[in-house]
A and B are shown apart, each in its own frame.
Chain A
Amino acid sequence: DAKTTQPTSMDCAEGRAANLPCNHSTISGNEYVYWYRQIHSQGPQYIIHGLKNNETNEMASLIITEDRKSSTLILPHATLRDTAVYYCIVRENKAAGNKLTFGGGTRVLVKP
């Protein structure tokens, strides 16, 4: 089973920041937090991942709390094309090859 808890759905306004929360209270020291999204009829798309430091890339920022029990994905300026299901996944730090366990995710609707 997925080790994360996310809101089922949320709306956000186009052009505004979207803040997507995720709880992972049972995360262990060697597990990373990954975020993926799935736009309708497409495969999951990698967004960002992190261990304990905040991370930023061209798509989003990831804020991880100091105790690592929760995190927030921030889409700085949401567009209509950001409408998707967003998945927060914890994944063991291994050399490679370990699976992703998807939960139900958060269905994000960006409104004009």
Chain B
Amino acid sequence: EPEVTQTPSHQVTQMGQEVILRCVPISNHLYFYWYRQILGQKVEFLVSFYNNEISEKSEIFDDQFSVERPDGSNFTLKIRSTKLEDSAMYFCASSGIGFNQPQHFGDGTRLSIL
């Protein structure tokens, strides 16, 4: 069964450094998403992306964050200058075209900011 893959599984970064989290969505999916989950808290929506544009973003997704689809297979989340509070699990998801297509999630990248 096709799946969403994320790399790395764990990223440790010094505060203030830039970090790029990578995702390979399911191959025929055209909608892409990032969510995050701070330890012990709810899964929170960050951003959705379609046709090389952001469709929707949350208040969390400020100027420090950006997303990109650099080629036909990867979808990335960049955090420009990391803060301690960015430490979380980051989940990528993708969904197909059409009404009520479910989102399928990867197993996440654990981001630890020191």
- Give the B-binding residues of A (Cβ under 8 A): 32, 34, 38, 41-46, 49, 87, 91, 93-104
Contacts and interface: CB of A to CB of B under 8 A. Distances in A.
A103 B43 CA distance: 8
A45 B105 contact: yes
Contact of B43 (A49, A91, A102): A102
Contacts of B104: 46
Interface of B: 4, 30-31, 33, 35, 42-45, 48, 50, 55-56, 58, 91, 93, 95-108
Contacts of A99: 33, 45, 48, 56, 58
Which 6 pairs from chain A and chain B are nearest by CB?
A43-B105, A102-B43, A99-B45, A46-B102, A97-B55, A43-B107
19 contacts: A34-B102, A43-B107, A43-B108, A44-B91, A44-B105, A46-B104, A49-B100, A49-B102, A91-B100, A95-B99, A96-B30, A97-B31, A97-B55, A97-B56, A98-B56, A99-B45, A100-B35, A102-B42, A104-B42
B87 to A, nearest CB: 16
Given A42-B107, A43-B91, A43-B108, A98 B98 contact: no
Chain A interface SS verdict (over half): loop
- Max count, chain A CB within 10 A of own CB: residue among B4, B91, B97, B103: B103
A96 B98 CA distance: 6
Given A96-B50, A97-B31, A97-B56, A32 B45 contact: no
